[in-house]
Structures are given as C-alpha cells and as structure tokens.
Structure 1
Amino acid sequence: MSKESRVKDLSLAGRGREQLYWAERNMPVLMEIRKRFEREKPLSGLTVAACLHVTKETGVLVRTLAAGGARVVLIPSNPLSTQDEVAAALAQEGVYVYAWRGMSEREYYNAIGFALSFNPAITLDDGADLTATIHKIRYGVRDQSIEYVYEVAGPLDGERLVSGLRGGTEETTTGVIRLRALKNAGKLVYPIIAVNESYTKYLFDNRYGTGQSTWDGVMRATNLLVAGKNVVVAGYGWVGRGIAIRARGLGARRVILVEVDPVRALEAVFDGFEVMPMDKAAEVGDIFITATGNIRAVSLGHIFKMKDGAVLANAGHFNVEIDVAGLERVAVAKKTIRPYLEEYTLPNGRRVYLIGEGRLVNLVAAEGHPSEVMDLSFANQALAAEYIAKNKLAVDVYKLPDEIDREVARLKLKTMGVELEELTEEQRRYISSWELGT
C-alpha cells in the first residue's frame, strides 16, 4: 500500500504553520523538552504511531517526537476533530498523516490501518481505538472495523505486530477504562502508560482545559447567554468539576450535578452544587452537558421530559453519552440551525438542540483545550514515549513515574515565573525522622 500522507488539502499548510507557531509560543514546557530531544535523540530509529486529535497542540507534540529521532505516523482519534490546516502542514514536514475533518467510520478505521502498516514500536492513543484494534487483530476478531483496517493495511499478522511493540500510552479516562478492562480480562498484550493518571494531566487538562473549552464549544455553537440558565452536568469527575465550576463563573442560575458515586455526589454538594437524578434534572435544565464516560447518561426518556429549547452537549470522549440514535428515530423533524447545531422536533412538539452530533463538543464546535494546558499533557506524552524507549516494561497498565510528573510541574512553574519554597535542612530532618514529635 502507499505510504503517502492523505489530508484534505496541502495548500492549507501555510495556515497550519501559523497555527503551529501560535501553539509553540504557548507551550514552553514541550519546547524545552524538544531542545533536549534534538540533542539526545532518545527516539532514534523508532516508529511512533499517534492516534490523537489532530490539532495545533498535537502538532507541537509530533514535531517534538520527530526532533527526538522518531518516524511519526499521525491519525485522528475522532472523525470531527481534525484541523485540516495543521494536518497539511505536518504532512509537508515529513510526518505521515492520514487525517481530515469529517471522516466516515470507514475512513476512520482506514486511517488506523494506515498507522499499523508501519509496524510501530510505540503507540500514543486517545480513547484506545488504536490499541483496541491491535488487540482485535492479535485475537483474530473480524468485525466491520477490522475489515476497514485491512482495506488499507492488508491482512496483518497479529503476533508480528505485537512483537514489535515496546509500549504505548493512553491520554484519556475513557481509554484507560478500556485498557484496564483488557488487563482485568487477562488479554492485554503490550505495556501501556496511562498518561491520564499523571497529576499534571488530569488535574489541569481535565479540570481547567475541558472546563474552559467545553463552554467555548457550547457558546460558539449556540451564541446563547449562560447567565441566568439552569445547567445540568452529568458526572462529577475532573471533567465534570471543571465544567460545573466554569458554569457557575459564567453566571448560571443553577448548576445541577447528576452523579452515581456517593463520594463524588457528596463532594459536589459540599462544593455548593445541587445534586439530583437525571429524571428530575431533565425537567428543569436549560443546558445539559455529559461527562460520564458511559452510555446513555441522557436517555430518550430524559429528553422527552426536557423543556422546549433545551440544549444537549457531550464532553466525554465517545458519542454514546446522549441517546442520539433514539433521538434520530423518534424526531418528527430535524434541521440545521447553525454550524454544528441541529434542531430536533419531538412528537410532543417540543424542540431540543444537539451540538456536534453528540461528539466531543470542545473539539467539534471549538478548538479543544488551550495550548497552555496541553503543554502539560503533551509534555507527559513526550516523556512517556522516551520512558518506553529507554525501559523494557512488562505487560501491564502503568502510571508515569511521579518524578516525571513533578518535573513537568516544575518546568511549567519556571516558565510562568513562579518560584517554589525550599525546605530547610532542619525541615528535611524533621519529616524524615520518626523520633521527633511535639
């Protein structure tokens, strides 16, 4: 098969380089790592397959991996999140890119086939579709997605594919859940670093990054005023926390949390939010945002209880949290109101508005997380790839070593001009001793 890149339009590359320049200006930690990678070439001779959202921030990571000596193959982790100008710019620079905005399901899995045809040594994943596909091939699963993979890659030898893999990374909560399920089933076939479990990833990316970019997507798609409205957030993990905090900051009249975990629900209450089941929240909400990582957090039954004019958005990785298929089935009318905003008329005459087909609202209707927060996430990704390259890992799901996490935080603070306090020798002795007390 052809190893040539496939993007929407190479003539967009000039605009893509401008976007990459702006991202690099705001990602100083990753740029510091790139300087070291250029000197040391820790990824020399290795092929890295990255299944990530093809954004300007991802482009900065890809350039950093290439600076470290890697041959990089980039494919999208979502059919609607690719920034075509960035894909074009990277393809012109020698990165193998197979991505364009608006891919069909077939084209999406064709892209995975393209990446696997390079027999990568390291995989970087966001949602675990690439990793799961490798496992399907290894275990001989032949579903429609695998048929699409083989259309581009040809039949792949699962044993040979796995034998060449040193390890992989996973960027999101949804993906880590899938990978732990693989491990618990005794089916995981190569080591994975759960980058999502690094403090400098989930505390900042999920809370501050998604908190801001989700509302950016909602407001670009609708241009509605948040102040005075009732906002319902499904899920009070780190993503849900960020969305709820920003809703309150934007002046929402009520911020209601829907949660199944009693500890998280209690935390939401103590943080000053209302907590109730979706059945009740559906009757009072104006804007609904899902962040659970689970299917049908907003079901068809919930939708029928909603006010005329309710807005639905999803901030979880996959488009399964809102029952879009059910909505499509029962709606008596559907029309596009604005880019990425569809109006559905229900049999009861009420209308609901769905943003971005129920896919990741911040990447479909906006540009994803701000570069400053992706600086932390992708610094973790780059250092995780280096860690895999330098260490022979047993098959397991790992957390990135804490010292790497702290180094990323230290570098970020340094670039922000923030100084840390230092322990005195007396303080070091005190916290390392069991004899000293009151």
Structure 2
Amino acid sequence: MDCEASQYVFYEGKGRNIELKEVQQQQVHEPEVEETPQVVEENSTDLETQPLRRSTRERHEPERYGFLVTTHGDVILVDQDEPKTYQEAMASPDSEKWLEAMRFEMDSMSENQVWTLVEPPEGVKPIGCKWVFKKKTDMDGNVQTYKGQLVAKGFRQIHGVDYDETFSPVAMFKSIRILLAVAAFHDYEIWQMDVKTAFLNGKIEEDVYMTQPEGFVTPENAGKVCKLQRSICGLKQASRSWNLRFNDAIQEFGFIRNEDEPCVYKKFSGSIVSFLILYVDDIVIIGNDVPTLQSIKTWLSSCFSMKDLGEAAYILGVKIYRDRSRRILGLSQSTYIDKVLKRFSMEESKRGFLPMRHGISLSKGMCPSTPQERERMSQIPYASTIGSIMYAMICTRPDLSYALSMTSRYQANPGEGHWTSVKNILK
C-alpha cells in the first residue's frame, strides 16, 4: 500500500520565545468507490398525504471502531483481530496468549483482594461482568502485549443503592502540550510511568455484588457471587475512587494540586522544579533534577504497582520526537491518522492541501430532501468520522478547527455536500 500520512507539531525554544512549527507530510491516493444507493419504490402521492412513519428498513448493529461491514454484510476486523467474547478468545489462534492474559488479570484481582465469594444475598441481583481483549501496540503499531481485562457491567448499577458520585477529572491535552513546551524550552527531563490495574487501588463504600468471571468458576463455588471490596473497571464509581486514592498518595509526598487543572501537580524546592500529569493510569513526570524525579518514581512504586517506561516516547497515542541539543520537541499522530484513514476507506485517497478550501459554503439547503437521499446518507458514518477527526484536532492538528466546526453542525441530518467536505478534511 502506497500510503504515507504523518504530521508533527514542533516546540522550539529560542531565547525567551517558544515558537510553534507545523510540518505536514501526506501522500495518499484516492480510490474510485462506486456507491449504489438503495432504490425505494413508493407512490409519490402517498408520500405527500401520509404522515411520516418509522422506517421499515433492516437494522444492523452499529459499526464499532476497528470494524468494517462490507456490502455483503461481512464483518472485517480492521485493527488487530481482537476477540469480543471469551468464547472467541478461546477459539482464536492466540488462545494461549489470551488465556495467559486473563490469568494475569485474575492474579491481580487476588493480590489486591478485590472481592470475596459469598452466597447471593436475598433480594439482591448481582451485576454481570465480561472479558475485554486488547492487543497493545508500540508507537509503530507492532503488537507488544496481549491484555485481558475484566470489566463489570456497571450500567446495571442503581443510583443511590450501589453508587453515588461518579465524576472523575483527567488532564486536558492542552495542559500536556503546555508542559511539554515548557520542558522543551528549559530542557527538562520527561519521564513516563504506567499504573498496573489502576482501578483496583480504589476502595468502594457501597455493597456491590457481581457474578463470577467466565472461565474461572470452580465447581465448589459455582453458586456464589463476588462481593466487591475494591473498584474494578466498568463500575460507575471506579474512576473516581482511583483518582481520590492517587490524589491522597501524591499530596502526601509533597505535591500541590493545580486548582484549575486537578490532574496536574507541582512541587518546588529551591531551584528544583517537578511537575506530574495524570491521565487515568498514565503518568508523565517532568523536572530538572534527576535524583528528585527518581525519588518520585520510588514513592509511586511503593504506593502502587507501577511500570517504569523510561523517557516519554508515546503518550495517549501521540508519538514524541525530541532533539535536546536543539531544544526541539515534536508530536506526531501518524499511526492514529493511518487507522482513521483506513477505517473510512480513505487510505488511497489523493492528497489534499487545505482542510476547507476558500469559497466552500455549507448550509441546511444541502441536507437530504427525499427519502432516497435520507436512506443513502443514513449509511454514511458522518458523526463517527467527525469524532475521529476531533481527537487529532485536539492533540496535534489545531489547523482543522475551523473546518471541523463547520462540518460538525450538520451531524443530525448531513447531505452529500457535507460528507464531501468531511472527506476533504481526511485528505
């Protein structure tokens, strides 16, 4: 496949100024896609006189990220052919690796004493759980580890009964960009850590009961349920419980929480400066003194099960390039952009020059006006495409802001002209 789509955002320190430079490299070729809209045979007079009723067309399961549905109805796993259920994992060629990943997850549950097996309480219906499988890749898209995560079906929880507060903050990416720019200007160290099974560190106060994980039910405990002592992924209060636990631990070490950005922490001691950024279970540590940063790592490792990732190279799907001799730091989402292009069959499209050309005007008049047009546009993943582009815009592509703000206004009822403008952004 002759496809290259990459971009970088460079922070360069010169004197007292920080300059933002953007370099764009895109070489893609557009395929000729022949689209055949469905033909709906209806009496025109009936359409004018009869009220609009629910569509009788066949409904399909919504398209998920990483899946494509062909015109023949075949489902293709675009990303990494990850199983969706326990049965699929056990039937896949990588069943041994998936089983090992699940065993590792169960060992973590046991070590952290996440639950105790009890008899089902009378009148209480336990929530379910499921396995979620993911192949974790490196910055180049190569598979590094197989991960099997046990997720509770928190949508069955009842407010006021088994959960209350759910809000939990995460660091905004603009805050990460600002601190990376500061680090590039002052030549600070940028280190990264990952919290293993982060949510298991949070304690829950409510009584929550869960069914036992599929594939790990022993005959002697077949009729019992899990009474949760700690939060696990999927519970409505899980993220909040973990955030409160981490906040207490890091403030105990002397860090001060930023009032406007609750997931950014700072610590000053004379000329020694340290910053810490938390995004769920990803931690970025920035500072100008190596022994101090090492002591932060040691403290975190004593409080939680941590993985030291060394110098930051890949943060939230964004690749970091750094030239410390020139004090330049670059950000790239090339891997993510390639996935988005492939997902929407645009990996072979011709290269574009501007997100939105001069003279392009979008309006409600371009929305579908006939049942045939509405039927055809209902098959177009317009809103999904807008959402995929938006993440790139927030992280590394602010030049897409205007084009995205114009096209996103018509997500409720997009027309052909609107969709063409979105495809131009992808180009």
Fold-level match, TM-score > 0.5?
Answer: no
More helix by share: 1
Larger radius of gyration: 2
Larger RCO (CA within 8 A; separation ≥ 6): 2
Instruction: Say which structure is richer in strand.
Output: 2
TM-score (norm 1): 0.27
| TM-score normalized with structure 2 length | 0.28
